[in-house]
């Protein structure tokens, strides 16, 4: 299993800048592809006694099941719905993990995949982690539901609907990333469905979110669905506490990366897509 430390931004004023970790706990560990039951035990037996502040977990939502190659890690980044069932566990196991980790002062941060659904070549059927039916070729995801109206096909002007020039911000944000069906976050319906998913997790007790593929979404669209989020669950957090938001941006250039991120959030800058340890946490305040 991959074990990756994220430095939490602490002592920062205002809204989504606050990591929400408890005083003296300044590190968030990424337990990549761990099962929810194992994370709960890790919180109780190791992370809490050793001063860790939180855990970033893999995407908990339903995803496509890929068998060629067999069950790769990246299938977790191809959503079918926002139901909470994956190979890490079901919804009851996720809820139990959040409760047990929160109770010992180690908070949960969810990897939120909201830029896209599965790949256009994903076929149709029920080969998904919850068994929900979908038809990728016709952009039909009834378990959300999303239909062809909810994707960016009409906004992308490349010959094949794919990103062809990563130097063109319009292509990067309006076209498909590696064939993944690109959601139209400019539509209020899509923004609402994304916010409903994130609010469901907030109500369970999560402390924040890593926004996957942030540079592939318009900052204004990100802000629009983040503005719909609830404050955190008062069972574990002070009244009015907002979720900590940090965004994934892959770039070799700090300036261009900072332009991709929402102006009131923190973003993760990965220097190389192949070097998961090349990780830096930056904060923007305007």
Catalytic center residues: 212, 248
Q: Which residues on neighbouring strands pair with residue 122, listed in sequence order?
A: none
User: 91-103 and 188-204 helices cross at what angle (nearest 10)?
Assistant: 60
Q: Which residues on neighbouring strands pair with residue 32, listed in sequence order?
A: 2
What count of other Cβ atoms lies within 10 Å of the Cβ of residue 58?
Answer: 23
Q: In the chain, how long is the greatest CA-to-CA distance?
A: 55
116-119 vs 180-182, strand pairing mode: antiparallel
Single out the residue of 196, 200, 203, 215 nearest to residue 255, CA to CA: 215
The SS3 assignment for 8 reads coil
Single out the residue of 153, 148, 145, 149 nearest to residue 176, CA to CA: 153
Report the distance separating Cα 208 and Cα 107, nearest Å: 9
Report the distance separating Cα 78 and Cα 41, nearest Å: 28
């Amino acid at each position: 299993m991959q074990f990756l430390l994220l430095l939490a931004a602490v002592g920062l004023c205002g809204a989504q800048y606050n990591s929400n970790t408890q005083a003296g706990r300044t590190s968030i560990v990424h337990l990549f592809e761990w099962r929810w039951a194992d994370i709960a035990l890790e919180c109780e037996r190791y992370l809490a006694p050793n001063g860790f502040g939180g855990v970033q977990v893999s995407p908990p939502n339903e995803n496509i099941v890929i068998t060629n190659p067999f069950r790769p890690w990246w299938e977790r980044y191809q959503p079918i719905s926002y139901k909470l069932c994956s190979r890490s566990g079901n919804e009851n196991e996720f809820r139990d993990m959040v409760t047990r980790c929160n109770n010992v002062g180690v908070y949960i941060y969810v990897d939120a995949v909201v830029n896209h659904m599965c790949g256009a070549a994903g076929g149709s059927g029920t080969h998904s982690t919850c068994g929900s039916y979908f038809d990728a070729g016709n952009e039909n995801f009834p378990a959300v539901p999303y239909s062809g109206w909810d994707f960016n096909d009409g906004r992308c002007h490349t010959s094949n609907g794919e990103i062809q020039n990563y130097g063109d911000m319009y292509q990067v944000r309006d076209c498909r990333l590696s064939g993944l069906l690109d959601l139209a976050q400019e539509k209020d319906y899509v923004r609402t469905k994304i916010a409903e998913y994130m609010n469901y997790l907030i109500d369970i007790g999560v402390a924040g979110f890593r926004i996957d593929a942030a540079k592939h979404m318009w900052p204004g669209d990100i802000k629009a669905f983040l503005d719909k989020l609830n404050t955190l669950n008062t069972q574990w957090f002070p009244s009015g506490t907002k979720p900590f938001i940090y965004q994934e941006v892959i770039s070799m250039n700090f300036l261009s990366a900072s332009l991709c991120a929402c102006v009131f959030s923190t973003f993760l800058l990965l220097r190389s897509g192949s070097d998961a340890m090349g990780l830096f946490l930056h904060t923007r305040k305007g």
